[in-house]
Amino acid sequence: MMRVVIDTNILVSSTLSPKGNPSRIMTLISFEELQLFYCTKILDEYKKVLAYERLNIPAQAQKNAIEGIVMLGILIEPVASTIPFPDETDRIFYDTARASGSTLITGNIKHYPAEPFIFTPTGFLEKLENDKRHPPFLC
C-alpha cells in the first residue's frame, strides 16, 4: 500500500470541495487504499486551520476529518531536518514524509524542495494511475 502524508491544504480542500482531486485522495485514504502518516504537530495544524472562521467549515465536519485522520492514520514523530524552508510551517510535512517513506501531497509544491516524493494532487493521481497500468516487474 502506498504511504502518504497530506499537507493541510489537501485536507481543507477536500472538506470544502467534495469533487476535486484532494477529495479523491481523501476517499482513497478512507477506503484504506493509501496509508496515511501524520505526527502530533501535523494534527495540531489540521485542527487549527480547519477551525479558521473564514473557512466556515461546520464543527461536525472538522470533528469528522480529525477523527478520520486519527482512526486511519499512523502517528509517528519525525526528527527535524536542517534544510532551509521558505515557510517553516511546511517542514513538519516534509520531515514526516521522509521519516515514514511516504509521498507528500501538497497544493503548494513551490514551498518544498524539488524532491521526487513530493506531488501535487493531480500529479499524484496521475502517478497512481500510471503505476496501476505499468506495475513494477517483480522477480
**pLDDT tens-digit readout, 99-121:** 999 999 999 999 999 999 999 99
Identify the CATH number of the domain in which residue 28 sits. 3.40.50.1010
- Each residue's pLDDT tens digit, 48-65: 999 999 999 999 999 999
Which pLDDT does position 136 carry in this prediction?
Answer: 65
Could you tell me the residue range of the domain that residue 122 belongs to?
2-133
- pLDDT < 70 positions in the chain: 135-139
Domain annotation covers residue 138: no
CB 127 within 8 A of CB 119: yes
* Total number of domains constituting the chain: 1
Matching residue, cell 479523491: 24
Domain annotation covers residue 72: yes
